Amino acid sequence: MKPLALPSGSRWSAAHLCGLSVVLVPTCFLAVLFIWPVLRLLALGFGDEAGPFHSYLRVFTVPAYREAILTTFEIAIAVTVLSVMLAYPVAYLMATVSPRMARLIGIGVLLPFWTSALVRTTAWIMLLERYGILNSVLMRAHLIRHPVAFVYNMSGVLIGMSHVLMPFVVFPLYTAFRGLDRNLVQAAMLLGAGPLTLCRKIFIPLTAPGALAGANIVFMSALGYYITPALMGGPAQTMVSQLISFNVSEQLDWGMAGALSGVMLVLTLAAFFLCRGVLEKRLKRRVVTAARPYGEGLSGRSGAGWGMVIAGCAVMVFLLAPIVIVFPMSVSASPILMFPPHGLSFRWYHELLSRPQWAGAFFNSLKVALIAVPVATVLGTLAAIGLARMKGTFAQILEGLFILPMVVPAIILAVGLYYQLTPLGLTRGYWGLGLGQAVIAMPFVFLTVQATLRGFSRDLELAAMSLGAGWFSVMGRIVLPALMPAIVSGAIFAFITSFDDVILALFLTDVRARTLSRLIYENVLQDVSPTITAVAVLVIVLTLGLLLSSLLFQREKS
Amino acid sequence: MMDRPESLGQPVQIRGLEKSYGGTRILQSLSLDIPAGCFCTLLGASGSGKSTILKLIAGFETPDGGEILVQGQDLSRVPVHRRQIGMVFQNYALFPHMSVHENVAFGLKMRRIPRAERESRVGEALEMVGLKEFGHRYPRDLSGGQQQRVALARALVIRPRILLMDEPLGALDRGLRQGLQQQIRDIQQRLGMTTVFVTHDQEEALQMSDMIVLMRGGQIEQLGSPREIYSQPKNRFVARFLDDCNFMSLQNRNVSIRPQHVRVGSSAHVADHVMSGRVESMIFLGTYRRISLTVAGETMTARLSSENMEEFVVGQDTPVGFMESDVMPLEEI
C-alpha cells in the first residue's frame, strides 16, 4: 500500500506553517517597535551605577514615589468600583426597555465612548471648575454660597476617569443581563424570593461575569492613566504615569523611569492575567443564552426597579452632559466661559480658522493617521488571519502578544520608543509617531477581525476550493470580502485611537509636527479658553460622523 | 429505475483507505465500490468514520494509505480545486456576501465559463431546485430548506463527477426534511449522479439510497440495498441500528425478529412458532400499539397495528408467535 501525498491535502496539514508565514510580519513589527523598546526601558531600570536594584529600592523608599504608587492603586480601585456601580443601572435600563429604546441608549453610551477622551476631559473641566457651569448653576439656585472645588482634586480625577472608562463595563454587563433567563427570575419569585434576595442570589451572581470582565479592563486602563489626572487632578493625585514622564522629560533620570515602568507593568500584567486566567475561566461556565431574556416584554416594575430606572437615567445624563454642553458654549459671545452663554456668535470658530496652528495641527493629525491606520489595519488583519490557522501553546503566546499593546500602559511604550527612536532621528516628523500609534491601534483591528473570523466557517473555504477556487481566489473572493466589515470598523477604531492619542504625541514628535490632540492638551494645561470649545465641537462632529458611517456600513453589509 | 440519457455520474473505487488522527485510527483499510449513478449512503453513529471518507474523497484531508479512484483515475495527485467534485456541506457553507445567483455562479467563474453560458447554466440549476425567482436574494434572507437547495444547485452546476453530501438535512425540521429528501432523490435520479451521502438517520438512509453502507469504528459493518440491509441484517448491531428488533435463540440458531412481525393474542395461534408470554406494558402510539412481553424469561416487543382491536391487560398471559418467513437469521451475534 503506497502512502499518498495529496498536494492539496498537504496544504491543509501544513495550515500551521501557512499561518506562521502570515503572522511573521506583524510579529516582527511588534518585536521591533513594541517588545524591544519596552524591554530596553525596563533594562534601564536595572542600570543604575549604584547597583542594579538601586532604582527599584528608591521606588519603594522615596516617599513621593511610594505615595504615587499607593495613589495610583487607590484611584484605579475607586474608578473601577464607581464604573461598575454606574454601569449597573444603565445596563439594567438597556435590558428592560424595548429593543428600539435599548439601541438608542446603546448609542447614547457609545457616543461618549467614541468621542475623544481628551475632549471629554476638557468639557468636564468646563463644567466643574471654580467658576464653571455646575458652580454657576448651583450658586444661582442658592444651593451653595461659595463655589465648590470639584476639579483639580480627587473628585475631578474620579469623575473624569469614570466617565471615560465606564462604557467598558456597560456592554459586557448588558450582555450578561440579556443572558439572564426570565423563567429563572420567575422561578425564584415563586420559590419565595423577595426583591432583595432576588438581587443577592440571582441578579448579582449571574451578572458578575460581565461586571468582572468590564471591571478588569477599567482597572488595567486606570493604572496607566496619564492625561486625565494630569488635567483634572491636583498635586496629590499624581499617578505613576506622570512620574515616569516627569523623570524622562524633566529629571532625565532614565533609571527611575525604567524602574517605575517595571513596577507598573508588573501590576498591570498581574491584574490582566489574574482576571483572564483565574476568574474568567471559573465564571465563563455560567454564561448561557437565555431562552427568554429577562426584561423582554417585562410588564410592570417593582419599586426597586423604578429606582434603578431613575438611577439609569441619571447616569445617562452624566454620560452625555459634557458632550452636549460644549455645543452652546462654543457659540457664546463672551470671552469668559460662563453659563448660560451670553449672546450668540461664531467668533471662536473664526478665530480657530484664522490661526494657522490649529489647521496645521489638524493636518498633522491626518498625516500621522495616514501612516498609523494602514499599517495597523494591514498588520492586525494579517495577525488575525494567520493566527486562525494555528493551534497550540505557541498560537496562544502570539495571541497574547497581539493584544499586549492594549494592556501595556501607553506611557511605557511612549518613553521606550522615545529612547529607541531618538538616536535614529525618528522623533521628529510623522514616521516615529505614526508607527508608534500603529502599535497601539493594531490590537483593535486584530480583535475585530478575529471576532468575525470566529464566526466565519472554515467550510466556506473548503466549499470554494471544491468549486474550483485556488488559494488566491479563496483569499480574494471569500475570506477578505467576508472580513471587510470587520476590517473597516477596525480601521475606524484605529483612526480614532490615532487621532485621540496624546501620550505618544508628547514624546515622539516635535512642535512642527505636533498633532491636534497634543495641541489641545497643551492648551488645556494652561486654561480652558472658548477657542477650545470650538475645537471640541469640531472633533465631536468628526468622530460622530465616523461612528455613524461605520454603523451605516455595518448595517448595509449585514 | 429511470433511464439516463446522459449520465453524469462516474464510478468510485476506494481501495484500502487508512486514516488516523493523532494516534487514533479513524479508518482501517477500508475498501468500497460505488457504481456509476448510485446513491450510496454512509450510515453510522458519530465517530464511525463516515464523514472522514467524504473529506478524503473531496481532498480536504490526506489519507495515510490506500487510494481513491474515480472512473479509474487516481485522485491522489489532483488538488481539491481540480477534482471536479460537488459537495453539499452540513451547514450549507453558502458565501454570505454573495447573492444566491453569485453563489451558484462561483464555480463557473472559477472555470472561466463565458458569461452567456454561465447565466444559462445558473438559471437551469436554480430552476431545477425550484428557486428561479430567488437569484437576487442573499443567503440570510432564505429559510434553511431554501439555503439547502441553493447549496445543492451550487454543487451541481459545475457538473461534478460525483456529488458528496455531508448530513445535508441534519439542521432542518422533520416536515421540511421529507420534502427535500424526495427532491434530492428526484434530481439525483434525473441526472444519474453518483452520490455519496452521509447521515446518522437510518430512516433517511432507507428512504433515499440505492445502497447503504453501515459503518462502525472505521470499518464497514454491512452493505447492501435498503431492503437487504433491513431484512437480512448480518448481526445484532446492524439489525438494531435500522429499527427495533427482538433477538432470540431458535432451534440453536441466533435469530432476530422485527416487532411488527410478532403476533400477540388470537392471531398468534396460526403462527409457525407459538410461545406463551405475559403482557408487561402497553403504549398507544397512533398507528400502532407497542406491547412489551415476557417470553420464557426474556423481554420481547411487539408492534400491533391499530386495526387489531383485541384488548389486552397488563399481567395477562397470552400466546405470542411469528412466522418462519419473518425470522431473520444472524450470521454472528
Instruction: For residue A341, give the DSSP letter.
Output: P
For residue A3, the chain B residues in CB contact (below 8 A) are: 64-65
- Mean of pLDDT values over B108-113: 91
**B182-194 pLDDT, tens digit each:** 999 999 999 999 9
**b/e map of A49-83 (b: 16 or more CB within 10 Å)?**
eeeeebbbebbeeeeebeebbebbbebbebbbebb
Mutation for testing the B interface, residue in A2, A6, A462, A474 having most B CBs under 10 Å: A6
CATH 2.40.50.100 domain span(s) along chain B: 247-329
- Mean of pLDDT values over A526-541: 86
Please give the Cα distance from B169 to B184 (Å, whole number).
Answer: 10
Chain A interface, Cβ < 8 Å to B = 1-13, 457, 459-460, 462-470, 473, 477-478, 481-482, 484, 557
Beta carbons of B18 and A6 less than 8 Å apart: no
Q: Using 50, 70 and 90 to split pLDDT, how confident is the model at B117?
A: very high
| Helix (H) or strand (E) run with residue A461 in it | helix A458-466
**Does A92 fall in a domain?**
no
Beta carbons of A8 and B79 less than 8 Å apart: yes
Domain span including residue A514: 13-38+348-558
**CA angle, residues A413, A415, A417, in degrees to nearest 5:** 65
Chain A residue whose CA is closest to B162: A466
Q: Which of A172-186, A391-405, A526-540 has the lowest average pLDDT?
A: A172-186
Query: Least CB-CB distance to B62: which of A9, A463, A473?
Result: A9
Please give the Cα distance from B259 to B114 (Å, whole number).
Answer: 59
For residue A8, the chain B residues in CB contact (below 8 A) are: 59, 78-81
| Helix (H) or strand (E) run with residue A140 in it | helix A133-140
**Does A513 fall in a domain?**
yes
Residue A173 near residue A312, CB atoms below 8 Å: no
Residues forming a β-bridge with B295: B277, B298
**A362-371 pLDDT, tens digit each:** 999 999 999 9
Q: Which of A34, A27, A32 is nearest to A440 (CA)?
A: A34
Chain B residue whose CA is closest to A2: B65
Q: Which of A37-46, A292-301, B300-309 has the lowest average pLDDT?
A: A292-301
**Residue at A323: amino acid letter:** I
Beta carbons of A468 and B91 less than 8 Å apart: no
Query: Least CB-CB distance to B60: which of A12, A457, A482?
Result: A12
- In this predicted structure, the answer to whether residue B162 has a pLDDT above a threshold of 90 is yes
- In this predicted structure, the answer to whether residue A178 has a pLDDT above a threshold of 70 is yes
- Mean pLDDT for chain A? 85
**Does A164 fall in a domain?**
no
**B314-329 pLDDT, tens digit each:** 999 999 999 999 999 9
- In this predicted structure, the answer to whether residue A521 has a pLDDT above a threshold of 80 is yes
**Does A65 fall in a domain?**
no
**Does A107 fall in a domain?**
no
Query: Least CB-CB distance to A4: which of B67, B87, B89?
Result: B67
**The predicted structure's pLDDT at residue A135:** 87
Beta carbons of B64 and A3 less than 8 Å apart: yes
Beta carbons of B58 and A4 less than 8 Å apart: no
With H, G, I as helix, E, B as strand and everything else as coil, classify residue B74.
strand
Share of chain A above pLDDT 90, in %: 34
**The predicted structure's pLDDT at residue A558:** 53
Count CB pairs under 8 A between chains A and B. 104
- In this predicted structure, the answer to whether residue A498 has a pLDDT above a threshold of 70 is yes
Helices of type H across chain B: 50-58, 100-110, 115-128, 144-156, 174-191, 202-208, 226-231, 236-242
Domain total of chain A: 1
Q: Which of A13-17, A161-165, A201-205 has the lowest average pLDDT?
A: A13-17
Beta carbons of A6 and B77 less than 8 Å apart: yes
- Mean of pLDDT values over A511-534: 87
Can you spell out the DSSP letters for A493-552?
HHHHHHHH--HHHHHHS-STT--HHHHHHHHHHH---HHHHHHHHHHHHHHHHHHHHHHH
- Mean of pLDDT values over A240-262: 90
**Does A231 fall in a domain?**
no
Please give the Cα distance from A246 to A537 (Å, whole number).
Answer: 31
Kindly report the backbone phi and psi dihedral angles of residue B18, in degrees, each rounded to the nearest multiple of 5, phi listed first: -125, 140
**The predicted structure's pLDDT at residue A10:** 38
Beta carbons of A5 and B110 less than 8 Å apart: no
Give yes or no for B63 touching A (CB within 8 A): yes
Query: Interface pTM (ipTM) of the complex?
Result: 0.80
Beta carbons of A482 and B89 less than 8 Å apart: no
Please give the Cα distance from A279 to B38 (Å, whole number).
Answer: 55
Query: Least CB-CB distance to B158: which of A3, A9, A468?
Result: A468
- Tell me if the domain spanning B12-236 has CATH number 3.40.50.300: yes
- In this predicted structure, the answer to whether residue A14 has a pLDDT above a threshold of 70 is no
CATH architecture of B247-329: Beta Barrel (2.40)
Please give the Cα distance from A334 to B290 (Å, whole number).
Answer: 92
Beta carbons of B95 and A484 less than 8 Å apart: no
**The predicted structure's pLDDT at residue A8:** 37
**The predicted structure's pLDDT at residue B3:** 39
Q: Which three cell numbers stand for residue B4?
A: 439516463
HSE toward the beta carbon, residue B34, CA cutoff 13 A: 32
Beta carbons of B65 and A1 less than 8 Å apart: yes
**The predicted structure's pLDDT at residue B142:** 92
Cα Rg for chain A, rounded, in angstroms? Answer: 25
Q: Which three cell numbers stand for residue A127?
A: 463644567
**The predicted structure's pLDDT at residue B249:** 87
HEC letters along A6-31: CHHHHHHHCHHHHHHHHHHHHHHHHH
- Mean of pLDDT values over B258-273: 91
- In this predicted structure, the answer to whether residue A413 has a pLDDT above a threshold of 50 is yes
Query: Least CB-CB distance to B16: which of A1, A8, A463?
Result: A1
Beta carbons of B89 and A8 less than 8 Å apart: no
Gap from B96 CA to chain A (nearest CA, Å): 7
Query: Least CB-CB distance to A481: which of B83, B90, B97?
Result: B97
Kindly report the backbone phi and psi dihedral angles of residue A391, in degrees, each rounded to the nearest multiple of 5, phi listed first: -135, 170
Beta carbons of B89 and A462 less than 8 Å apart: yes
Beta carbons of A466 and B58 less than 8 Å apart: yes
Cis peptide upstream of residue A229 (ω within 30 degrees of 0):
no
**Does A424 fall in a domain?**
yes
**B10-59 pLDDT, tens digit each:** 999 999 999 988 788 899 899 999 999 999 999 999 889 999 999 999 98
- Mean of pLDDT values over A437-445: 95
Enumerate residues 6+ apart whose C-beta is below 8 A from A378: none
For residue A1, the chain B residues in CB contact (below 8 A) are: 16, 18, 65-66
* Start-to-end CA span in chain A (Å): 50
Chain A residue whose CA is closest to B112: A468
Residue A411 burial (CB count, 10 A): 28
B263-264 vs B317-322, strand pairing mode: antiparallel
Chain B residue whose CA is closest to A3: B65
**b/e map of B65-96 (b: 16 or more CB within 10 Å)?**
bbbbbbeeeebbebbbbebbbbbbbbbbbbbb
For residue A469, the chain B residues in CB contact (below 8 A) are: 81, 106, 110
- In this predicted structure, the answer to whether residue A230 has a pLDDT above a threshold of 70 is yes
Query: Least CB-CB distance to B89: which of A13, A459, A481?
Result: A459
For residue A481, the chain B residues in CB contact (below 8 A) are: 97
> Quick one: how far is CA A295 from the chain centroid?
29
For residue B93, the chain A residues in CB contact (below 8 A) are: 457, 459-460, 462-463
Beta carbons of B95 and A462 less than 8 Å apart: no
Highest mean pLDDT among A206-220, B161-175, B210-224: B210-224
Chain B residue whose CA is closest to A557: B97
- In this predicted structure, the answer to whether residue A65 has a pLDDT above a threshold of 60 is yes
Enumerate residues 6+ apart whose C-beta is below 8 A from B120: none
Q: Which three cell numbers stand for residue A346?
A: 461664531
Rounded to the nearest 10 degrees, what angle do helices A303-330 and A63-96 cross at? 110
Give yes or no for B224 touching A (CB within 8 A): no
- Mean of pLDDT values over A383-397: 87
Distance (Å) of CA A142 to CA A136, A137, A147, A341, A450? 10, 9, 11, 19, 55
Please give the Cα distance from A446 to A399 (Å, whole number).
Answer: 9
For residue A4, the chain B residues in CB contact (below 8 A) are: 62-67, 76
For residue B96, the chain A residues in CB contact (below 8 A) are: 482
Q: Which three cell numbers stand for residue B203?
A: 430512516
Residues forming a β-bridge with B40: B196, B211
Gap from A176 CA to chain B (nearest CA, Å): 27
**A100-114 pLDDT, tens digit each:** 888 888 888 888 877
**The predicted structure's pLDDT at residue B91:** 86
Distance (Å) of CA A58 to CA A183, A261, A269? 58, 13, 22
CATH 3.40.50.300 domain span(s) along chain B: 12-236
- In this predicted structure, the answer to whether residue B97 has a pLDDT above a threshold of 90 is no
Enumerate residues 6+ apart whose C-beta is below 8 A from B301: B244, B246, B259, B262, B290, B291, B292, B293
- Mean pLDDT for chain B? 90
Beta carbons of B111 and A468 less than 8 Å apart: yes
Question: What is the dihedral sign for C-alpha A249, A251, A252, A256?
Answer: negative
Q: Helix, strand, coil: what percent of chain A each, to 5?
A: 80, 0, 20
Give yes or no for B102 touching A (CB within 8 A): no
Residue A86 near residue A162, CB atoms below 8 Å: yes
CATH code of the domain in which A34 resides: 1.10.3720.10
Query: Least CB-CB distance to B93: which of A1, A11, A459?
Result: A459
Please give the Cα distance from A20 to A184 (Å, whole number).
Answer: 46
**The predicted structure's pLDDT at residue A292:** 66
Q: Which three cell numbers stand for residue A351?
A: 478665530
